[in-house]
């Protein structure tokens, strides 16, 4: 599905990591952890085609990422739901339209009429549908970002510190939503430095933990 093989990435000549390999199997649940600045966000961006590796091969749904056109990248993004730590919304639009945006850009607006109500109910935001993102709390924004990431029923969900701005109770709720999605067959990759969150997830789902440290990726990490 998503495969990184012997990948390196450098920022302005400074190597962030090198020789890194990773395979996201369909239906898997993976955590990516590591210290700040280790390259977690960069690795996630490589996984959804937002960055190109300095060297090595990144394969997204069977296609070499380096050979993708800009339109190809857009199509890849439609198969990957991304949840950012800072959420990134269109602040002038109500929550309902923000969540439905992935359907709109892919010409599937009619599906929004069928799915949006249920989805907002699932993340507990039915009453906030008409509010704009600046009117929402941090937790509500995170849940809205998650709803937007899954509205197209993508194959993969990539979340970068999805619980970074919320309390423990809200973190558990968000993680439970992601676990539910994984049980529906979605591949989930979550970058987090919150070890309690990983422990909580491992108590409910078979999750693999990856750790990036010193430019190297360790797999099967035990906490």
- Please give the residue ranges that form the binding site for other proteins (CB under 8 A): 70-71, 74-78, 82, 84, 88-93, 97, 101-102, 104-106, 109, 148, 152
How many CA atoms does the CB half-sphere of 211 hold within 13 Å? 13
Q: How far is the CB of 159 from other proteins (least distance, A)?
A: 13
Nearer to other proteins, 148 or 186 (CB): 148
Q: How far is the CB of 144 from other proteins (least distance, A)?
A: 12
Distances (CA, A) of 26 to 97, 154, 166: 29, 12, 29
Total Cβ atoms within 10 A of residue 214: 9
For residue 122, what are its two tokens?
Answer: 């699932």
Q: How far is the CB of 98 from other proteins (least distance, A)?
A: 8
Residues in contact with 64: Cβ distance below 8 Å, sequence separation at least 6, in sequence order: 57, 58
For residue 11, what are its two tokens?
Answer: 């920022």
Nearer to other proteins, 93 or 179 (CB): 93
- Could you tell me if 188 and 157 are in contact, meaning their C-beta atoms sit under 8 angstroms apart? yes
Nearer to other proteins, 150 or 175 (CB): 150
Nearer to other proteins, 9 or 89 (CB): 89
């Amino acid at each position: 599905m998503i495969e990184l093989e012997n990948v390196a990435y450098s920022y302005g000549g400074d190597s962030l990591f090198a020789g890194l390999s990773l395979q996201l199997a369909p239906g898997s649940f993976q955590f990516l952890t590591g210290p700040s600045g280790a390259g977690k966000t960069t690795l996630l961006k490589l996984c959804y085609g937002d960055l190109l590796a300095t060297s090595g091969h990144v394969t997204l749904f069977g296609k070499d990422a380096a050979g993708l056109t800009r339109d190809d990248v857009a199509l890849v993004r439609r198969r990957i739901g991304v949840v950012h730590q800072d959420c990134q919304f269109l602040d002038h639009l109500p929550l309902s339209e923000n969540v439905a945006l992935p359907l709109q850009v892919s010409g599937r607006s009619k599906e929004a009429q069928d799915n949006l109500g249920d989805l907002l109910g699932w993340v507990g935001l039915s009453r906030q549908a008409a509010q704009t993102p600046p009117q929402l709390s941090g937790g509500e924004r995170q849940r809205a970002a998650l709803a937007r990431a899954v509205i197209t029923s993508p194959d993969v969900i990539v979340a970068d510190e999805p619980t970074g701005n919320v309390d423990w109770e809200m973190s558990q709720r968000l993680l439970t939503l992601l676990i539910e999605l994984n049980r529906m067959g979605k591949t989930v990759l979550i970058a987090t430095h919150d070890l309690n969150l990983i422990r909580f997830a491992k108590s409910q789902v078979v999750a693999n933990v990856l750790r990036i440290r010193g430019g190297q990726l360790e797999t099967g990490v035990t906490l």
